[in-house]
Amino acid sequence: MKRIFLAFVLAVMAGAVWAQGAVQTVERSVKAAPNKDTQIGVYLNVLPDCTSGPLPTIRLVSPPSSGKVVVKTAKAKATNYKTCLALEVPAYIAFYKSPPDFVGDDVLTIEVKYLGGRTEIQKITVKVVGPGPQQKI
């Protein structure tokens, strides 16, 4: 398993608690370089007692038109997250990779389903930029 050290990403992905069966839609963008793996999401489940709950189910609803998306397993570590002074939990990490010659926007949609019925639809725009002084990542 690959170890990923996280600080603030946990707060973004663990987020607020929604009512059972509710669907939350999120739109965001990520910058990427051509032909390089770029992290586009971290998915985990931290319980109030700072242990891991069941990991969510992740489905690629609409794939990017140019690049590819893969999900890898990892261990997420964090300190001072909510009431947890330190934790290490399993996680899924989603990565995007464009073709070597692609520059531009690529859009994909991921559905994340948590145990208990909470569903999150993530529309992610990956802004792939080439080298140059105006386009640094």
pLDDT in tens, the chain (137 residues): 443 433 334 333 444 344 456 889 999 999 999 999 999 999 999 999 999 999 999 999 999 999 999 999 999 999 998 899 999 999 999 999 999 999 999 999 999 999 888 999 999 999 999 875 544 44
Q: Name the token pair of 49.
A: 């007692």
Q: Which fold would CATH assign to domain 2-128?
A: Immunoglobulin-like (2.60.40)
Residues 6+ apart with CB under 8 A from 131: 33
Q: What is the pTM of this model?
A: 0.80
Predicted pLDDT of residue 132? 56
Predicted pLDDT of residue 20? 54
Is 94 within 8 Å of 37 (Cβ atoms)?
no
Predicted pLDDT of residue 12? 38
> How far is 115 from 39, CA to CA, in rounded Å?
24
Residue from 136, 135, 122 nearest 40 by CA: 122
Predicted pLDDT of residue 66? 96
